[in-house]
Amino acid sequence: MTLSMYQASVPLFRTLLGALSGVLDKGAAFAEEKKFDPSVLATARLAPDMFPLTRQVQIATGHSAACIARLAGVDVPEWPNTETTFEEMKARIAKTIAYFDGFKPAQIDGSEEKEITLKMGASNVTFTGQRYLIGFEIPNVTFHCTTAYNILRHNGVDVGKRDFLGNY
């Protein structure tokens, strides 16, 4: 049995973002339990030159939604990156997962050889749909979900591998 483009994308992104939402729940609960302003975690970063937690969530959700849109051949949603709280980050994740619900497998399946061109800096990079999904978007979404998890873990939130893996 072959793995379709839909099967390789939407379920994986749902799992990663669902797990990210659960990790955010633990981060918010940690701040409440320890009685500190949750914005401390929302603005935390692993290194001075890395994005904070809020931006990690925005990028993970933005990349996954853009990927599905491009594979389906529809306009990429333009969502402002204005989230600053745990509630807003969780709402963005929920909005992204709901966005996936608007697609049927037939819209994405068969996009393996579809040409997808992205503007990166001063140049354009062209991928086949399969290479775009497997070599660019899955690593990007996974990286930003992992970094969000690591920001919270680094700051003392009790999360483990099972939290990162989510419900598969």
Residue ranges covered by each domain of the chain:
5-165
The angle subtended at Cα 48 by Cα 43 and Cα 50, nearest 5°, is 70
Q: Evaluate whether 11 touches 69 at the Cβ level (below 8 Å).
A: no
The pLDDT value given to residue 1: 62
Contacts of 89 (CB under 8 A, 6+ apart): 24, 42, 53, 54, 57, 83
Summarised one tens digit per residue, pLDDT across range 101-146 is 999 999 999 999 999 999 999 999 999 999 999 999 999 999 999 9
Query: Comparing C-alpha atoms, which of 95, 85, 26 is closest to residue 64?
Result: 95
The pLDDT of residue 168 is above 90: no
Integer-rounded Cα Rg, in Å, for the chain is: 16
Tokens of 77: 């949603």
Please give the Cα distance from 21 to 24 (Å, whole number): 5
* Residue linked to tokens 């991928």: 127
Summarised one tens digit per residue, pLDDT across range 1-48 is 688 999 999 999 999 999 999 999 999 999 999 999 999 999 999 999
Q: Evaluate whether 71 touches 5 at the Cβ level (below 8 Å).
A: yes
Does this model's pTM top 0.75? Answer: yes
Tokens of 6: 């839909």
The pLDDT value given to residue 167: 82
**In DSSP terms, which residues pair with 118 in a beta bridge?**
125
The pLDDT of residue 95 is above 80: yes
CATH number of 5-165: 1.20.120.450
